[in-house]
Structure 1
Amino acid sequence: MHHLMLDIETLDITPSAVILAVAAVFFDPKTGELGAEFDVAVNCQQEQPGRTISLEIVAWWAKQSDEARKLAFGGTESLKRVLTGLSRFIHINSTDTVKVWGNGKEFDCVILEHAFKQLGMPCPWKFWDTQDVRTIITLAELNGFNPKKQRAFEGTPHRALDDAKHQARYVADAISALYTRHQ
């Protein structure tokens, strides 16, 4: 598999956001089959110099489930160690150019790319290999189908790994629907 769905939890929506958790799952966009998983929370007690916090997002987190908050804010690893682990995970589990998916062209991939650069680390993907979940959903909606709303969520909403798996599954649903409707 060389498609990777990312999901992160943060304290802002800008590229410089403080990162709470990073998750990724390899998947086959044609079948929805899930592969290797990565799921690590960052130690939020450890400062992330130069990264930002939004009061709106802090307030939003206060309204999320206890389980989601516990998972997002319960990390023990430094941001650098989490990003090192993510890079290693990608290199170990992908033998080809990895296509990295994020939910929104300006969120998951951009925030992680900013963090890699800020920490002086090479990003484990090329910017031209990023894919946008929202664009696929829009294409499916143009064809009368919204898999995001039709697929039941499995797990804890706003747990990064559960969100990544859900996104991978509904991207595959959208691709399948687009193929089926045009054959």
Structure 2
Amino acid sequence: MIDLEGLATGPDTTILTIAAQAFDPFGSGHYDRHYYARVTLESQENRSIDDGTIAWWATQPAHAREEAFGEQDRIPLDQALDELGRLIWHAKLIWAQGPTYDMNILEHAYKSYGKALPWKYYQVRDSRTVFSLWPELPIPPTSHHALEDCRRQIGMLQTTLQHLNVKELK
């Protein structure tokens, strides 16, 4: 599962944080393998920042803003993409909640650095579509901490697949 937090909504969004969490869609919980990075804004001078998104961040809880905007432990986007790629290159499927946000942004970032994508287009899956198949799915609140949100989405996906009695994905 991949999740990121950013400063706009288009493919060239400035990325604040990136997370990926390995898991079994038919299991429970997640594996120990995960990735989380807070990205420097200075490494993304040509990426977009949207005033509306900045205003939205101002309405989020203080702990979410601190995690997204805090200065400590940030790395350049180029480094974050390399590190993320090392985790996900061997994954059978890549999940995101609405891949038109997370995956489009990451694809744009990889291409802007001339890097090969660490996934194939046919591996990307949308957890939000799966959730919509069970309208009564209990939905816990989003934290806007990318790794916590990955884990939240994994739990919801596993619960939905179990509820729908899905035993296999192609």
TM-score under structure 2 length normalisation: 0.89
Structure 2 partner of 1:135? 129
The Cα of 1:47 is off from its aligned counterpart by 4.4
What amino acid maps onto 1:69 in structure 2? R
Structure 1 partner of 2:99? 105
* Contact kept? 2:88, 2:118, Cα under 8 Å: yes
Q: How does 1:27-42 map to 2 (within 5 A)?
A: 27-35=23-31, 36-42=33-39
Contiguous gaps of at least 5 residues in structure 2: none
* Contact kept? 1:42, 1:73, Cα under 8 Å: no
Structure 2 partner of 1:84? 82
Aligned residue among 142, 146, 154 for 1:168 = 154
Moved over 3 A (4+): none
In 2: Cα distance, 1:51 partner to 1:110 partner? 13
Cα 1:163–1:169 change in 2 (3 A) is: same
In 2: Cα distance, 1:49 partner to 1:98 partner? 33
Structure 1 partner of 2:64? 68
Secondary structure of the residue that 1:140 maps to in structure 2? coil
Give the root-mean-square deviation of aligned CA atoms.
1.6
In 2: Cα distance, 1:122 partner to 1:160 partner? 23
TM-score under structure 1 length normalisation: 0.83
1:90-140 CA deviation, whole Å, 9 max, x = no partner? 24xx4xx43111111311111101100011111100111100011101112
